[in-house]
Structure formats: structure tokens, C-alpha cells
Amino acid sequence: MKQRHTSGAKKWWILFLISGLVLSILFTLLTPWNIAHLSSHPQPAKNYAEALHLIEIFRTKEPQEMNPLSRTQLMTHGNKTDRAIILVHGYTSDPQQFHDLGKRFYDVGYNVLIAPLPHHGLADRMTQEHARLTAEELAFYADRTVDIAQGLGKQVIMMGISAGGVTTAWAAQNRNDIDLAVIISPALGFKKISTPLTAAAMNVYTVLPDAIEWWDPILKEKVLPAHAYPSYSRHALSQILRLGFVVQADAKLKPPAAKKMVIVFNANDSMINNEMTTQMVNIWKAHHASLTTSEFDAALKLGHDIIDPAQPGQQVDIVYPRLMELINP
């Protein structure tokens, strides 16, 4: 009888230990890895001439193999203006995505800076160079572009979409010399991955061997726009998510540094998990940040990239005026 009792107790202890191990593994998987604070290192341009010098440094570091249209674009009035705007394109796109909208800002008096994200804008669309993208590089890019913009305008606005939206969110969290951050459909999470599993997916794909996949498995390299890369890297997407989790972790501890923020939702977005963006907004609002939101209605049937006029089915005649109104109410 005593032996049977001892055997039963042993089984319960084994079951308890196994359950504890399983729960520990699940907790580890569901908690984002490697999201230590990425420090900002501001070195703002002191004047317009210094801003031009920093842009030249930016350009000299661009690889020779770049598409000439994808290099750093500066639309300038020849002096420091009242407002300067930084436009940050999405992952696998390039500065051409924002060129037409940038021209509209230029026409109303802005100095406009559109710089390619690291590993972007190469003439060879089939390159896998973009797979090397890291969260650290995106943060460094944000710091340097904001530094440049300080010499281009008395007020600095930063606007980014998707991965550019996450980059802009990091800048808004860390740079107090941003007067307005406009964050459009930030890639804080993806539609195909439920919110609770986003961190686990990031963790797993970070450690697994990388995979390069087509954005459109049917069109493959024929997918438009012609200036963007037709494929993506799982490792690169994981790094974009990682930067988003870094921002979220920092935001839980302190309010965003930017003076004002506008978060733009696309209710019809088939790529981005808007629930993750809402979570980020609520964290910022808990700090009473100067923040507003705006949404493009699902009835418009807009695609994920609402910026690039080369995207099929684009409606820039609706999108551009709305975005400009958000900045100039």
C-alpha cells in the first residue's frame, strides 16, 4: 500500500515537473528576445551648410550598384526653411515610393529628405542584400536622418510607412527634436500572425535559417513597382518586429520624446496587424502623450502601400491630401 502511494506521488511530481518545463518553454517563446534598449546618439546639424555636408557623407556611403533613382533625395529651397520633412519608405521599397508626395511637400515650402534604408535601392532587384537588415541599422538611420533635418528646417517632421513607420516610431520615442512624427501602418506585427504569437514568431524566425520568399508567388519578379525588391527575408522581417518590440518596451517605461505624434491606420490593410498598433497607441496614451489617430476607411479598399503611385489600384488623390492635412490642419 505504501509502495503504491509512493509510486503515485512520484508520478505526480514528474507530471508537475513536465508541466513546469512546458510552461517555462512557452513563456520563453512568447516573450520577445534581444530587445534591450537601443540608445539614441543625437548629433544634430547646427545649420543648413552642415546638413548638406552630412547628406554628402550619407551619399558617399551608398554602394555604387544602386539604382540612380534610389539614391538619397534632397528637395531643397537652398536655405533652411520653416519646416523640413523626412520621408521613410518601407522594407524592400526605396525613396521613389515617396518621391511624388515629397514633391507636394516641397511645392508648399518644405525642404524634403528621402534617404534609402540600409541595404535598399540596389539596381539588381533580385539581390538578397536586404536580408542583412538589422534593428540597430534602422535606429542608426533614424538618428542620422533626424540629425540632417535639424539643419534643413526650423521644425522637423518625420513620416514613415510600414518598416519606415517602425523606424519613425523609434525616433519619436527617442528624439525630442522631432516636432511631429507621422507613423503610417507601422509593421509592429503582421496580419498572418496573431498578436499573442507575434513575439514567438519573431524569436523562432530569428534563430532558424533565413528564407527568401516572393511577395507575390504568382507574379514573382514581375510584381510592381518595378523599382522595389520583389522578395523578402524572414530574418529582415524579424528585425523590423524586434525594433517594434524595443519601442514598446521603452514606451512602457517613459513617454515618447517627440512633441506630437499622429498614428495613421488603414482599416483595409492586408499586411499589418492593426491590433499591435493599437496596443502601442494605448501605451503612449497612458503617458498622456500628445497623440492623435486617423484611419483610412476599409470601404476605400486601399492596399498596404498607400504611398507609391506605381502600386496597382493606388488612390493617391485621396491619400496625399489627407496626409498633408494631418500635418497642416
Q: Is the pLDDT of residue 181 over 90?
A: yes
Q: Is the pLDDT of residue 14 over 80?
A: no
Q: Which pLDDT does position 152 carry in this prediction?
A: 98
Task: Read off φ and ψ for residue 320, nearest 5 degrees.
Answer: -60, -50
For residues 30 and 196, is the Cβ–Cβ distance under 8 A? yes
Q: Which pLDDT does position 36 carry in this prediction?
A: 78
CA 151 to chain centre: 24
Q: What is the pLDDT of residues 253-301, one digit of tens each?
A: 999 999 999 999 999 999 999 999 999 999 999 999 999 999 999 999 9
Q: Which pLDDT does position 142 carry in this prediction?
A: 98
Q: Is the pLDDT of residue 302 over 70?
A: yes
Q: Is the pLDDT of residue 305 over 90?
A: yes
Q: Residue 49: which of 79, 84, 85, 83 has the closest Cα?
A: 79
Band of residue 29 on the pLDDT scale cut at 50, 70, 90:
low
- Residue 176 CA to residue 256 CA, distance in Å, equals 8
Please tell me the least confidently modeled range out of 23-27, 59-63, 248-252, 296-300. Answer: 23-27
Q: Which pLDDT does position 126 carry in this prediction?
A: 95
Q: What is the pLDDT of residues 306-320, one digit of tens each?
A: 999 999 889 999 999
3-state SS, one letter per residue, for the chain:
CHHHHHHHHHHHHHHHHHHHHHHHHHHHHHCCCCCCCCCCCCCCCCCHHHHHHHHHHHHHCCCCCECHHHCCEEECCCCCEEEEEEEECCCCCCCHHHHHHHHHHHHCCCEEEECCCCCCCECCCCCCHHHHCCHHHHHHHHHHHHHHHHCCEEEEEEEEECHHHHHHHHHHHHCCCCCEEEEECCCCCECCCCHHHHHHHHHHHHHCCCCEEECCCCCHHHCCCCCCCCEEEHHHHHHHHHHHHHHHHHHCCCCCCCCCEEEEEECCCCCECHHHHHHHHHHHHHCCCCEEEEEECHHHCCCCCCCCCCCCCCCHHHHHHHHHHHHCC
Model-level pTM?
0.91
pLDDT mean over 164-168: 98
Walk me through the domains of the chain, giving residue ranges and CATH numbers: 31-327 (3.40.50.1820)
Q: Residue 114: which of 98, 129, 101, 137 has the closest Cα?
A: 98
